[in-house]
Structure formats: structure tokens, C-alpha cells
Structure 1
Amino acid sequence: MCFLFEFFLRARIEPVMIRREKSLERDGRWREAQTLRRQYYTMTFSWLYDFERVGELIRAEKQLVFLAQKEEFFRECERRCIMHLESNLRPDESLIEKLQTAQRLSSEVRQTLWHEDRRYQKMLASIPDGPLRRALHACRRQRDWYLSSGWQRAQYARGFDIRPKRLEDDPMHQPFDLSPRKYMGAYELRLLESYIWGLL
């Protein structure tokens, strides 16, 4: 009986909440809309959602960013090789080999990135409709919600390399476990809050 009442109550409140969220976003008050989504989620949905799927989504997203950084690195190598070839009257054989290697690796990473993006989109689509999904989509619509390309170019200019073979080898990657058996500490909870809701 209690579940039936809660279902009908949620069915009546949900459209009102969605209208209010959209109104706040149109007025440019994105943080207030996210806070409203989080409060509504905490009141109604928090007991039935398993965050393991969100953890997989976070990992897939980090993998996408990692691959995009690698692709940008190889494209930058390619641009530099072409620039040196155009300015050099007698091109070096090793420079031509470097250019071909950079082009081949860039193409491979681009294909992998496409497949990972498809997988990520499927995972995002599998999250049930509700305030959690709306919050994730609203966060992704924000400009520069992940590392900006300007930051990446600055890192390349300073001579930093993005060459780890796997995401786990990247020193910037900090994994965290969202399995139901794992106790989440304050750091994991804050990271999850900032990732889903965009609020700290």
C-alpha cells in the first residue's frame, strides 16, 4: 500500500519538478536546478538506485577523455612533423617515419575513441529516467565540464607527454570503487556529488 501511494505521489510531483527545473535553467540558475534535482532524488529515489552503474559510467568517461588526449597528442605530433617538413629543403627520413607513425597511431586512437563513445552512450542511455539522469545530462551540457582543450594544449607546450598505454597507467587517473559492498569515505562521496550533481 505504501509503495502504491508513493508511486502515485511521484507521478503527480514529477511533472511539476521537471517544469521548475527547466524554468530555473532557462533563467540561468543552473546550480539551483541541480540542487532541486538532488533534493528530489534524495527524498524519493535514493533507496532504489545502485551507484555501481554510475561508477562504470565515470570510468567510461575518463577513458574517453584519456583517448581524446592521446588523439590530440598524436595530431600535434603530426602537425609539428608537417611543419618541419615544409620548412626543411632536404627532409630527413626519420622525420617522414615519425609523420607516418603519428598518422597511423592517430587513426587507431580515433577508431578506438569512436567505439568507446558508442559504449559510453549506451551506458548513459541505460540509466533509468528520473532526477539522476536529468542531473547527469544537465552537467554534460555545461561548458568545459571536463579538461578543456586549452588546458591540454598548454600541457603539450610545456613538454608534458600523454603516452601511457592504458588509463590505469595514467598518473592523473584516480580510481574509486562504487560497488555496493564497498564503504564510501568522505572523498568518494564528495567526488560522486560533484560528478553527478556538479555541486560541492
Structure 2
Amino acid sequence: MALNAWKSTPERAAIRLVRSILGDSPSPLTTKQIYEEAVRRETGREYPEPPTVIASTQKPQKSIRKRGVVLKPPPTPPHPDNAIRSVRYLKAVVLPHMSDKIQEIEKFHTTKSLSDEEKQHRLATMSKSARKAKASLLPTITDVWLWRMTARPPPPLEPKKKKPVFGVEVGVGEDWLHLNKRRQRAREGKVVRDVTWLRELTKMRREREGLDKAAGKETIA
């Protein structure tokens, strides 16, 4: 039996949650900030079923021995019933899937100035001697990796509708390059005459339609 019973692919609930968090945020977020917001949103939320493959009532796995070596099961995630059960799951499974597979988010590098609180925290992690030696050399700028939603490409522009050319039915716009000069001139003359006739015919039809509409109104009145 495999020791790791957790899925290695992200649950849909986890993807939706990260998408919502980054979509609602006015600025890009670090992995830690995404996780903290996910925990905050899921605090007290009840799922009809746990979003992982392990039921909440399942007994914890025991260590197994393989070739003389004792293999211990991985530690239980801090939030096993949440869509995002741990920072490791978010960092190693959910975020890479969303950036590499479905390409909804992207990770980018930037820098930021350390706040006084962050400087004090760094100094607190040093030994007393190192603190004295490096207090004045502590950098004020630090590297940061942030996540954000990928910019969606703008919708394709609809091609402008071309204004219909009058006289297409009588040859306007046709290619006559295959004809010799004499035939081209003859064809042009014929098309000009046909267009003149077509304009007169169109004018007569419109006048007739106008008269018919006027007669119809008088009949109704």
C-alpha cells in the first residue's frame, strides 16, 4: 500500500479558491498570502464530503517496513478537510497546475523594501554576535516572488462590414485583366450602361413602393 494517499493533482475546489483569491485581490500575492487567505475563507466552512481522497473517519496510516527500512507515512496536513490542506500542497500541486497546465496564473519576480518589523524579525533570528556584526549591513531591499492572474487576450476585432457595391449584379468590380484592351473598353461601356439602367430601375421601384405605402395608409384611414 502506498504511504501517500493524497492526490497529486489539485482538486477543483482548490483551483476555484485560488482563482477567487487572486481575482479578488487588488495586487499580486505571495504563496504564503494565498494560503493564509484560503485558510481564513475556509475557517468554519463545512463540506458535504472532504475534498481529498481520505475520509475524515479513516484511521491514520501506520509505518511499514520495506527491505529492512521503516517507511513512515507523511505527516497529516494541518487542514486535511480544506480544499487547500497545506502550504506544500498549494506550492507543489495547485499553483504549478494553474500556471503550467491551465495557464490561468503566472509567477513573477520583483523587489520590495523591508519594513521595520521585517528587519527586526531577521535580526531576531541571528545570534547575538551576528546581530552586532550585521545590524548595519542588513539589506533594505529583498527579492519577492508573486502570483497574479494572467492577462486575458483581448477579443478579436470583428471585421468591418464592407459597404455593398452598387451594380455587382451587372459586372461592377469584376476582373477584366484577362481581356485585351478592346474587349475591356467594350465591357466597361456595357457595365456603365447597365448600371445607369439599374439605377433608373431601382429609383422606379422605390417610387412605386412609396406610392403603395401611401395608398395603403389612405385605405386604412
Please give the range of the TM-score, normalised by the shorter of the 2 chains. under 0.3
Which of the pair has more CA radius of gyration? 2
- Structure scoring higher RCO (CA < 8 A, sep ≥ 6) equals 1
TM-score by length of 2: 0.22
TM-score by length of 1: 0.24
